[in-house]
Structures are given as C-alpha cells and as structure tokens.
Structure 1
Amino acid sequence: MAENDDQLAARLAATAGEILLDLRRAGDLEGKALGQAGDAAANAMLCRELRAARPGDGLLSEEEKDNLTRLAQSRVWIVDPLDGTREYGEGRSDWAVHVALAIDGIAAVGAVALPGLGLTLTSGAPLALAKANSPPKMLVSRTRPAAEAVFVAEALGAQLLPMGSAGAKAMAVVRGEADIYLHSGGQFEWDNCAPVAVAAAAGLHVSRADGSPLRYNNADTYLPDLLICRKELASDVLRLAAEYSPA
C-alpha cells in the first residue's frame, strides 16, 4: 500500500536522523565539519526520496538552491535536513530533522525527528497534551535568549528553559516539557513549518508573535517570529509580546 503524506514525512525524517547519527558515531569528523557533512548527507537523501515519491510536488530545502516554480504549486515540501547544526556537531541531543508539506500555504503535514532522543513526532499521530507546568516553562535560545521572550517570561512568572534547535524547542512544548516557545529573532520557513504542523495537530496555539497566521511557500522565505504555546496561555503571551518595547 502506498504511503500517505504523513507516513512519508515520518519515514524520511527518521531515516535522515539515522544517517546523521551514523555519521556522528563514525567519529571521523567533529564540530563544524561534522555539521556540514551531516547537512549534505541528510539533504541528499531527503530531496532524492521526495522527488521520487511525490514528483508533482514542489520542494524547498535549506540546503538546496531555491526553485521559484514552487510558487505556482499547491503542494510544496519544506525540509530542514539538520536543524541545530551546532548542537549536532557538539554531540548534544537538542537537534532535529524537519520534513513538512505545505498545502496552499498552510503547514498541513509535518514530522520532526529528534534522533538524539530516539523520537519522531508527527502530525499524523499527535501526542495527547500533558498537564501544564506550574509555574509555566518558557523555552529560549541557549546561546542568545531574546529580550522579548525574557520580558514575557518575567511578566508571566515563567521559568526560562534554554535549549538548542527550533525543532527541539517546539517539540518540548508538544511533549509537555515546556509550555511556551516565543521566538522573535528571525527564522526561515524550513525552521518551523514541520514543528508548526506537529504542534497544531497536538492542539497547541501556533501563530506569528502578533497573533497573525503563519503562511508558507512564499517568495521570501524569511519568517521574523513565531509563537507555539498552550492555548490557555496564548492571549496573555500575545498581549505581553505586544507590550514589549526595546530599551
């Protein structure tokens, strides 16, 4: 029986994760060189398999030259072969593989592999949301926490939780390890399309930081900000984000 889109995304994300783990285990490379080799190897497999399995669909990958013919296509696969290159190269577990399908600009299908944890989360088999943390936990970059996120966390009395890649942070909310992921430092479509699809399927709030919807398959792939959080916290987070004013 042919794979549906969810199954295809999940299989490819998990397979890319195994490629990356095998490359790291080999021990021939480390640091930046390991990250570059991992990106290239995972990307080659993902693009080859997606083109073979869905030849009529568009494709946007962080590691491929952009083909703007995708703009005329309803279905476009959006992939990040290695989200969190630094964490991967450092031997950490907070990195991910993203495979998503945007349909008419909406993040419709997504799979996020967390190979360092042995997990792949998908929109096709959403997790039941865990009990909220008290006090709330809010994810921030482990190297450069955004001032806006720190402001919101302090106003909410939330505990800051530093973590690596965007996919790892988003999936920490899905898994109940945290409650809020507010990012205002700029991303690209491949950084969050798959995480947004998985988070939305799990019943979380997903939007831009001003509450507007996230749209994909744009000519300009830059996405300035993102909010993934528990729905009961969304209105407060959005209100506080709007109140933030840089010093």
Structure 2
Amino acid sequence: MTDPRNDLQVDLALLVAAAREAAGIATAFRAPEVWDKPDGGGPVCEADLAVDAMLRARLGAARPAYGWLSEETADAPERLAAERIFIVDPIDGTRAYLEGSQDWAHSLAVAERGRIVAACVLLPQRDLLYTATLGGGAMLNDAPIRASAETDPERATLLGPRLAMSPEHWTGGDVPPVRRAFRSALAWRLCLLAEAKFDAMLTIRPTWEWDIAAGSLILSEAGGTATDRRGARLSFNKPQPQSDGVLAGGALHGVLLPLLEAGPAPPPA
C-alpha cells in the first residue's frame, strides 16, 4: 500500500518546482503592463497572468484529475467535484511586486476534501521557501520552524491592517495592547507567524482562499492555529471561496479569540 505521506511529499516537490519556475518568470519582468481589476479588486499585471498560465499548464499536466482555483483564473464549478485541488496565488502582494519591494510571494497549495495537505510559499527576492505537508511539520529553507508561545498581548505583535485594531471589532471596544505591524502578502504573514517572527494576525474583511491556503497549513504544522475571525475552522474549495476574515497565531490565538467582537464583516475595501 502506498504511504500517503510519500504521496504528499511528491505533491510538495511538484509545488516547489513550479514555484521556482514562477520566480524565474516574475523576476524577468522589468516594467509589466498594469491594469485594475473590476469592482476595486486591486491591480493585476502581465507577470500575474504569465505566472498563472505557466502554473496552470505545468500543474494541470502533472495532475490532470486535480481541480484548479487561482486568483487570476476565471472560476469554474468543475473544481467542486474534484477530490484534490490546486489553490494558487500566482503573485501574492502584486502591489509590493510593482513597487519593487521584496515582500511578495508565490503561494501554492493542494487541498483534499476541504483541508490543505501540501503547501509552499516562496519569496524569491528574500530567498525564503516555506513548506509543509499535513502531519509532516513545517520548514523554512529545509529547517524546522515553530510558532510563537507568547500569550501576553502586552509583549506581542499582531500583523494586520489598521482596520483590525478599530475598537468596534473588539468586545466592549477594548483593543488589546498588542503592537501592530503590516506585511503586504497574506501568505507571508501566516508564514511569519509559523517562524515566530510575529505572534498573531487578523483580517476582518472576507478573505480569499488563495491568500491563505498555503500559509494556513504551514502555520498549523508549526504548531499554530488559523481560523476565521469567529473561531470556525478554515475550509477550502467552497462554492464561494472566501473565509469570514482570519485570526491566526501561535499561543496568542486562543487569548485573542474571546476578545473579538463577532459583528458583521465590513464591506470589501
């Protein structure tokens, strides 16, 4: 009988090789054409689409039975019937990429029946490769990583936008005394929690699956926790591929969750 852990390692190797090829494409562009997505969806550029096309061709050829969900591909209902599916953000942090920052990533994951089972996040400009398989632990550049054990908000740093620290999102308006920081790529934020560089992360608005799929497994395999902002387990390959925000962290997750005000989500930015 085939060991399922070996199966996941083979899928992970495929993801890593595809991410490295994506890095070669993205870093080769010098002044990509840029346009805005409809309905305030943010910028998209030639590099996003070139990476997406390569990933879909390479991964699809290697695993034709797997479904496909990507930020830069029109969604199709066929993915819902697939037992396994690729969930991909070709360039997570397009704004940072266009600004010449190093803070963008390729985020690739495999989901099986709603849960992530293999994942990689590659930051080419920082030479950072985060990987994980379900039950196999989390790695940064092939070294094991572990999430923060910090439980005191006064000593903690939370990654998130200013909106996350608005009093209306906390019970009684009492914002916990954490320091706030920000990074552009959601996938990288989750990975930074996995290596204990920060203690927690919060998004209030609905969050797309491709932004959090890979990073959520990397964090959980590092001993952390990622849920929606109400504490529900994250599930993937849903008909509407979004979560109700995200609360993630090491030990601090369980401290912050009871303090959050579970009101209606604000409209998209």
**TM range, smaller chain:** 0.7 to 0.9
Counterpart CA distance in 2 for 1:147 and 1:155 is: 6
Q: CA deviation at 1:17?
A: 2.2
1:139–1:160 CA contact under 8 A, matched in 2: yes
Please state if 1:28 is matched with 2:41.
no
Using the alignment, how far apart are the partners of 1:120 and 1:216 within structure 2? 23
- Contact 1:146/1:185 (<8 A) preserved: no
Q: Tell me how far apart the structure 2 counterparts of residues 31 and 162 of structure 1 sit (CA, whole Å).
A: 24
**AA aligned opposite 2:23:** G
Aligned to 1:69: 78
Given the superposition, is the C-alpha separation of residues 151 and 116 from structure 1 closer, same or farther in structure 2, using an over 3 Å criterion?
farther
Match of 1:60 among 69, 87, 101: 69
Question: Do 1:148 and 1:241's aligned partners in 2 also have CA atoms closer than 8 Å?
Answer: no
* Equivalent residue letter for 2:82: Q
Shift in Å at residue 49 of structure 1? 0.7
**Structure 2 unaligned regions, length at least 5:** 1-5, 37-42, 139-143
Query: Shift in Å at residue 41 of structure 1?
Result: 1.2
8 Å Cα contact 1:148-1:184 kept in structure 2: no
What residue identity is the alignment partner of 1:129? R
- Which of 215, 218, 221 lines up with 2:241 in the alignment? 221
1:128 is matched with which residue: 138, 145, 156? 145
- Which one-letter code corresponds to 1:110 in the other structure? A
Aligned to 1:177: 197
CA contact (8 A) 2:157 2:179 kept: yes
What is the CA–CA distance in structure 2 between the aligned matches of 1:95 and 1:167, rounded to whole Å?
Answer: 9
Counterpart in 2 of 1:89? 98
What does the per-residue CA deviation read over 1:211-243, in whole Å, with 9 as the maximum and x for residues that have no partner?
11111111111223112200x212221111137
Note the 1:100-179 alignment, pairs <5 A: 100-124=109-133, 126=138, 127-129=144-146, 132=149, 135-141=155-161, 145-148=163-166, 155-179=175-199
Contact 2:226/2:248, CA 8 A, preserved across alignment: yes
Partners of 1:229 and 1:149 in 2: CA distance:
20
- Given residue 128 of structure 1, which amino acid in structure 2 is its aligned partner? I
Give 2:54's aligned residue.
45
Question: Would you say the 8 A contact 1:13–1:120 is kept in 2?
Answer: no
Q: Deviations over 1:6-35 (max 9, x none)?
A: 111122123212321222xxx334766995
Aligned partner of 1:19: which letter? I
SS in structure 2 at match of 1:47: helix
Distance 1:195 1:130, change over 3 A: closer
Aligned residue-pair number? 240
TM-score computed with the length of structure 2 as normaliser:
0.80
1:122/1:244 CA distance change after superposition, 3 Å = same
Identity of aligned residues (%): 28
Q: After superposition, give the CA deviation of every residue in 1:188-211 in whole Å (9 maximum; x if it has no partner).
A: 111111111111111111111111
State the alpha-carbon separation in 2 of the partners of residues 117 and 150 from structure 1. Answer: 36
Question: Quick one: which amino acid aligns to residue 220 of structure 1?
Answer: Q
CA contact (8 A) 2:88 2:109 kept: yes
C-alpha distance in 1, partners of 2:35/2:97? Answer: 9
Asked if residue 236 in structure 1 is aligned to residue 255 in structure 2, the reply is yes
Give the alignment's Cα RMSD to 1 decimal.
2.8
Once residues 171 and 58 of structure 1 are traced to their aligned partners in structure 2, the CA distance between those partners, rounded to angstroms, is: 25
User: Are residues 1:17 and 2:23 paired?
Assistant: yes
CA 1:149–1:50: 2 relative to 1, 3 Å: farther
Determine if contact 1:68/1:219 at 8 Å carries over to the other structure: yes
Q: TM-score, normalised by structure 1?
A: 0.86
